[in-house]
A and B are shown apart, each in its own frame.
Chain A
Amino acid sequence: MKPEGQGSIISRISRALSNYDYLAGVYALLVIIITIIGIVSLPFLAYEDVQVYPKHIDRSSPLDPYDRGGTPFNTTAVHAQYPDNSPYLGYVTAYLTPLSQFMADGSHHLGTTIVSHPGGIIDEILYNTRGLDTVVETSILFVAFTIAAYLFRRKD
């Protein structure tokens, strides 16, 4: 076996790659290369104007910027991907808990607080139409906590 820094170019590259300390660096380099290609291809990208769940802003509403309209306990028009799959689409969107309804009646700035009572289109997406995303997301958090707690509690 030849000592470090010698040999053909291929064996030098493969020797460098076999050191796992360089792993993150190699990956970062790959990402940088691809991103440069991305910058070059920027002029060919275009924003699609027809989006699902578009954002509407109604400045006069007490729920601004999270007012999505709709009457409680009735179907609300939401531009979902497959409305057929969610027969109760918009029900969560229009619903406010009695407490947040009370606050919305009394204040013009309910939407600017961090109040997150059940309801609002974000919850509609998170809970209802794309609920599986949230299931996976919380499972990831659960697994991460299991790892951290296991390593933390291990006695040694």
Chain B
Amino acid sequence: MKTKLKALCIALCAPLLIFCTGFFLSSFSEEPKAEIKFVVPKGWPKPVYDFSKNPVTPEGFALGKKLFFDPLLSKDSSTSCSTCHLQFTNYTHVDHALSHGINGLKGTRNTLSIMNLAWSKTFMWDGGVNNLEVQPLAPITSPVEMDNTLENIVLKLKRSTSYQKKFQKAFGDNTEITGQRVLKALAQFMVSIQTFNSKYDHMMRKEKGAEFTEQEKNGLKLFRQHCESCHKEPLFTNNDYEYNGLEPDQKLKDGGRIKITHNKSDSLKFKVPSLRNIEVSYPYMHDGRFRNLEMMLFHYTNGIAKSEFLSSKLSKPITMDEQDKKDLIAFLKTLTDDRFLHDKRFYYSAD
């Protein structure tokens, strides 16, 4: 009797499920021009970015995207933002410990991901940049990234009638191309890069069908026990700077946050990065020294250097057996948001 009922249930539900999945999938495959709307997911804090002075419009977003993909931004038109910030890999330079830019020159830090930046108070590994709108100035002017000036970019853009039209569409008729507008358009694009649809998110929103395995459940428990104090949910960062006990690299001699504040207590501190999509954004740490999540965890259990600057949150040693580590990694992988990594609205388009 029971089995019959079960079979009936499956028979009734399966077509519905197939229909729904089909509907779900088609809704994604057919929306390269879908509307861009900034979302504050349920339970998330208020964004930091001031949208009142730069509301995201479809035209502003499109212009920002075009600029983001355009190597015109670099001195020799070789390097674009997307050279180092690739969507499929969580907008970072995957498999590059230290990113390289113009003329194959190498930088001194690992590319940070671009995502959920509306909640960031500061930008860059040392927090030197104070507003999303002025963040692009750092890579634009860096001699090893784009080696350019905003002034030169504006001059180049003014020569393009296609760009002139796009600026007018985005900022109104008779709009002149200015540095401010270049930065505002880029900000509209960047602020729209939002990830909040991972398995973890579905779980937290108690969505139908979302369920953690026992391993992932244990991983979440371990995460909250050992990692949560810095990598605070739901953003998976406390938006602060910490020294996590990495042995300083003798060649790079990077003091981190102290470069900005000149405050000795900020020695060796770096931004706490968000862990969303961590699975695809390897290598890890500000200098990209860890190739995989296992190496990263080994650092926290066995590799923490003794230092007066070590984050107080790490003063108690973390002990985990191999099974725990596997469980924790399984949980970290639930932060991967495939919908975000393959969202066609963010694909390069030639127009």
Interaction A to B = no
A residues in contact (CB < 8 Å) with B: none
